[in-house]
């Protein structure tokens, strides 16, 4: 039978690592850009929008659909950068150590 104190210790360690990872993600900034760099969106590692910059060309009411597409492109680009960074930082050996394996 597994020792409940050992399991609690492992759970605490896992929670502690998760909190550290969360803080690390919140402190990182990722900038996504749309095509032609007309829109730039800054996200932290948890996906929270920090800043949006856009070219004045997109403020024309006749370019509303372009504006929306550029925002989507920039957001997707930033999300890809977050995912790439997370996969780089989170290797299998680190996961195993967090799980006590």
Query: Is residue 5 in some structural domain?
Result: no
The structural domain count of the chain equals 1
**Count of other CB atoms within 10 angstroms of residue 78:** 23
Token couple for 41: 């969106």
Query: Is residue 61 in some structural domain?
Result: yes
Query: Is residue 98 in some structural domain?
Result: no
CATH number for the domain that contains residue 39? 3.30.1310.10
pTM for the model stands at: 0.70
Alpha helices in the chain (DSSP H): 4-27, 64-89, 92-98
Separation between Cα atoms, residue 48 and residue 9, nearest integer Å: 32
Query: Is residue 63 in some structural domain?
Result: yes
**Per-residue tens of pLDDT for the chain, all 101 residues:** 567 777 777 788 888 888 888 888 889 999 999 999 999 999 998 899 999 999 998 888 898 899 999 999 999 999 999 988 878 766 655 656 655 55
């Amino acid at each position: 039978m597994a020792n409940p104190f050992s399991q609690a210790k492992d759970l605490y360690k896992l929670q502690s690592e998760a909190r550290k990872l969360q803080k690390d993600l919140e402190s990182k900034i990722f900038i996504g850009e749309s095509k032609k760099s007309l829109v730039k969106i800054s996200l932290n590692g948890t996906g929270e929008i920090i800043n949006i910059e856009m070219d004045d060309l997109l403020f024309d009411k006749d370019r509303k659909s372009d504006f929306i597409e550029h925002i989507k492109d920039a957001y997707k680009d930033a999300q890809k950068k977050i995912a790439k960074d997370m996969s780089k930082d989170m290797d299998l050996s680190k996961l195993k150590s967090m799980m006590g394996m």
